[in-house]
Amino acid sequence: MTANQQAQANAPKKNAISPTRAENFPEWYQQVIQAASLADNSPVRGCMVIRPWGYAIWELIQKRLDGMFKAMGHKNAYFPLLIPLKYFEKEAEHVEGFAKECAIVTHTHLQPDGKGGLEPTSPLDEPLIIRPTSETIIGEMFAKWIQSYRDLPLKINQWANVVRWEMRPRMFLRTTEFLWQEGHTVHATSEEAQQVALDMLECYRIFAEDCMAMPVICGKKSEAEKFPGAVSTFTFEAMMQDGKALQAGTSHFLGQNFARASNIKFTSENGREEFGWTTSWGVTTRLIGGLIMTHSDDDGLILPPQLSPLQIVILPIHREDSQRQVMEYCENLVEKLGSVIFHGEKLRLEIDTRNIRGGDKSWEWIKKGVPIRLEIGMRDIESDTICVHRRDRAPKDVDLIPRGEFVASAAQILESIQANLFQRAKKYRKENSRHVQTREELFEFFAGKNSGFAYAHWCGDNSIAEEMKAKFGVTIRCLPFSETESGACIFTGKPSEQKVIWAKSY
């Protein structure tokens, strides 16, 4: 080995993503998105263009959740993007919560302005709000559809886009326009509505942990953090690799607040006219941001197999004289893998036949997060053995597996990757969580740039929450269902019904 070769061998490993997570987590996040071709910033400030690889992930999220919703009795519908201002004025608390985020349409018709540009010329009789959420317009329709208890429960879901004017945009996490689903239900009793709100939270938890391999904590939002106009807001919170919390989705028990505002009434079995009890619940493309920050590493995106657009990519390695033989072997392998079922579906796989350098090709799929890469050349064909690279391991790690054995175990390998990602994320959360007993211990936990989940008793005084946010940028993420033992508030010594989770958040 020459001196130069020795120096290269001893040089530290260069990562595909720069900066690394440790060097600059926010910029690392942006670079992972770019390297994986997930999305681009659009010409419209605060908005993004979701590229095919990123949208394919969203389609898989949609497909899985949509099936879960329908199995629970919810049906899809669609409601207008534009909502008359008067509908928002019916529910004052709701409007106040969204007022600063609303985009408003005030004119129609464009005509030349005489200066080479265009100008709107026809003011609307009433401004229209581009939906930040659809409770008001959906409530208007529910009031027409519901007359009797026989019309209940009414369970509707909408897949749509919304607009909330965002001052500090970040792709997938906070954008002015984003994609989501919003579920809305009406019930005859408070108990039934509350149970549905909790059932939908559990639906989200199962999806997050089983499909996204993202461990979450379910709980109730504090009064100050709940959805505007709701009686109760339930949330599922995940810890990202910088120790910050991500509110991955929410479910709301709205009581009769929106029913009264929209006049959603029904005649009960005993003949009385009553207001309905409503819920709403939703998740957004923010889930893709959660996937990125939960699993990815300094070489790029890592996707859990259940939500990867491709689960296996095959990389043929050949010279011109061996091309036909290698390709026939790869095609035969695809045919055999075509009968393998993973979570009720055929494997999603592809042969990458592009005429580019093998190393560049491999690194592209590493950065895109595909769970399994297979490299196949003449030596592999001669031994009938496949080079298997798992994305949950280092890029150069390889398992040499006989072809028949790989075909038989492909689903189990993918399941192993899925489980490993979940356990790895769960271990990270545990290592960065602490139960604190004093306010000084809490202050120390969040001193400087420290992050993580701190569990502590709190008496419910919101002025304490405001002080923590001002001093440390920390908020109460939820009152977790798992922490119900009573104690004493670490700030005031007053009785506390349960612990809350303090954390910095996105």
Q: In the prediction, which pLDDT does 13 show?
A: 56
The one-letter amino acid at 327? M
Q: What integer pLDDT is reported at residue 9 of this predicted model?
A: 42
Query: How big is the chain, counted in residues?
Result: 506
Q: pLDDT of 134-177, one tens digit each?
A: 999 999 999 999 999 999 999 999 999 999 998 899 999 999 99
Per-residue pLDDT at 500 exceeds 90: yes
**Over the stretch 239-262, which tens digit does the pLDDT of each residue have?**
999 999 999 999 999 999 999 999
What pLDDT is stored for residue 88 in this prediction?
Answer: 86
Three-state SS letters, 131-177 = CCCCHHHHHHHHHHHCCEHHHCCEEEEEEEEEECCCCCCECCCECCE
Q: In order of start, what are the domains of the chain with their CATH numbers?
A: 25-295 (3.30.930.10), 305-417 (3.40.50.800), 433-503 (3.30.110.30)
Confidence of residue 5 (pLDDT cuts 50, 70, 90): very low
pLDDT of residue 399: 97
Q: Could you tell me which residues come within 8 angstroms of residue 485 by beta carbon, excluding any fewer than 6 positions away?
A: 498, 499
Q: State pLDDT tens for residues 398-454.
A: 999 999 999 999 999 999 999 999 999 999 999 999 999 999 999 999 998 889 999
Average pLDDT, the chain: 94
Per-residue pLDDT reduced to its tens digit, 97-112: 778 899 999 999 999 9
Global confidence as pTM: 0.94
Q: Are 310 and 52 in contact (CB under 8 A)?
A: no
Band of residue 10 on the pLDDT scale cut at 50, 70, 90: very low
Q: What is the pLDDT of residues 195-243, one digit of tens each?
A: 999 999 999 999 999 999 999 999 999 999 999 889 999 999 999 999 9
